[in-house]
Amino acid sequence: MNFIQLRSNGLCIENISAFRLTKKYRTPFYCYSLAQLRNNFLRFNNVFKNIKPIICFSVKSNSNLTLLRELRKIGSGADVVSIGELLKAIKAGIHSKKIVFSGVGKTEEEINKAIKKRILLINVESESEVILINKISKKLSKKTSIGIRFNPNISGNTHKKISTGNKGEKFGLLYSDCVNLCKKIQKMKNVKLEGLSVHIGSQITDIKPFKNMLSTLDKLIERLKINFKFIDLGGGMGISYSNKEKKLNLKKYSQLVEKFMKNKDAKIIFEPGRVIVGDAGVLISKILYIKESANKKFIILDAGMNDLMRPALYNAKHQIIPLKKTNKKFTGNIEFVGPVCESSDKFLNQKVFVKIKEGDYVSFTHVGAYGMSLSSNYNIRPTIAEVMVTGSNHKLIRKRQSLENLVKN
């Protein structure tokens, strides 16, 4: 189901025309469809209904508080990677027994907080980390539930900057290190090993890496002979960023997981981010200038790489669509760029685009995940507003950062 669509009267987010929103909110701003968000979560839940997983939404993909609250209302937990994300998940009302904490570099402060909050699992990624968790737990007279993150040495066939499951990456523990550390953990008094976790990367559209991941997990579990209470399969499910691109077949993945679970009584955890929120958000931007130079037509937008980092960081291609439909066309070398003083502040090249002029608006699509959450203040640009649409209503769910705040230090 698509709740964000280009209709005859232009781009609509549910029942509201994006153009109307530009009269209410200053561009650039992110805008989310609540129906799309809910639909994605409930669909994910439904595809995996035979497994009844704990779904821990990956907060780093989008950490807006209103959005987290909406996900909590329909049963979501949270996967967090910092104390900030942990506090936000708790503030959103997510129960601590539905929160998992991942990351290779958790600080003492972060571990302390996670232990005190009695979260579901701290997923550990090194021996030193386990020793520290054990030590802090002892001091607090607690027995802390942990998971061990396994690096299955599998390529996700995805962009190398979002691949995490290769043996040369910093994430997780390789097979034999995992076996050795599990033995050591079992002798420690203040941690209990309840989970085994993997996460092999992001935007994986091919089923094979997941298939390999599950069979490698099977081998490890057989070797370890541990009855894990939780098996955390991470996130990484890929979406299609345009009509031409394929997305992960979730149904197939669920069938593989069902097969994998036949001889186990563990609870499955998933940590999806992109597949829940990716297509639920757009970024609305105004055309400041159109400049012709060196055989190119530069469309200079008021949104920059600091607002949407993915094109500069990962060469990601986000489609750009006009808010108003017209049949007149521009042709040539069209390049959409931002105002930031970096040559990598460019978004997309097109040979054809509808005829637009200075002062018109465009929208980036599929920017709900890793859009706002990756934004920065580079060039002393305030982080932008976020708006949520539900049916025919819209509301501001994060204010544009104030300039006064930004120029203080």
Annotated active-site residue 341? The verdict is yes
* Integer angstrom CA distances of residue 333 from 34, 48, 241, 252: 36, 45, 22, 40
CA distance 282 to 367: 5
Number of residues that bind ligand PLP (CB under 6 A): 17
Q: Does 98 bind ligand PLP (CB under 6 A)?
A: no
Which entry of 12, 56, 178, 341 is annotated as an active-site residue?
A: 341
Burial of residue 207 (number of CB atoms within 10 Å: 0-12, 13-18, 19+): middle
Looking at 266-376, which runs of residues are DSSP E strands? 267-270, 281-293, 296-301, 320-322, 329-337, 346-354, 361-364
β 16-17/10-13 pair status: antiparallel
Angle 234-197-165 (CA atoms, 0-180°, nearest 5)? 70
Residue 364's nearest CA partner among 11, 65, 7 is 11
Judged by CB, which is closer to ligand PLP: 120, or 334? 120
What three-state secondary structure class fits 84?
helix
Q: Does 61 bind ligand PLP (CB under 6 A)?
A: yes
Minimum distance of ligand PLP from residue 184's CB (angstroms) = 23
Looking at 213-345, which runs of residues are DSSP E strands? 230-232, 267-270, 281-293, 296-301, 320-322, 329-337
Judged by CB, which is closer to ligand PLP: 311, or 338? 311
* Of 57-65, 319-327, 356-364, 400-408: span binding ligand PLP (CB under 6 A): 57-65
Q: Between 187 and 216, how does the x/- string for binding to ligand PLP read (CB under 6 A)?
A: ------------x--x--------------
Q: Does 271 bind ligand PLP (CB under 6 A)?
A: yes
Minimum distance of ligand PLP from residue 328's CB (angstroms) = 38
β 296-301/329-337 pair status: parallel
Q: Does 272 bind ligand PLP (CB under 6 A)?
A: yes
Please, are residues 285 and 364 in contact by the beta-carbon 8 Å criterion? yes
Q: Does 102 bind ligand PLP (CB under 6 A)?
A: yes
Minimum distance of ligand PLP from residue 337's CB (angstroms) = 27
- Tell me which residues in 215-244 interact with ligand PLP (CB under 6 A): 234-237
- Tell me which residues in 12-41 interact with ligand PLP (CB under 6 A): none
Q: Does 79 bind ligand PLP (CB under 6 A)?
A: yes
Residues annotated as catalytic are 341
Q: Which residues bind ligand PLP (CB under 6 A)?
A: 58, 60-61, 79, 102, 199, 202, 234-237, 271-275, 369
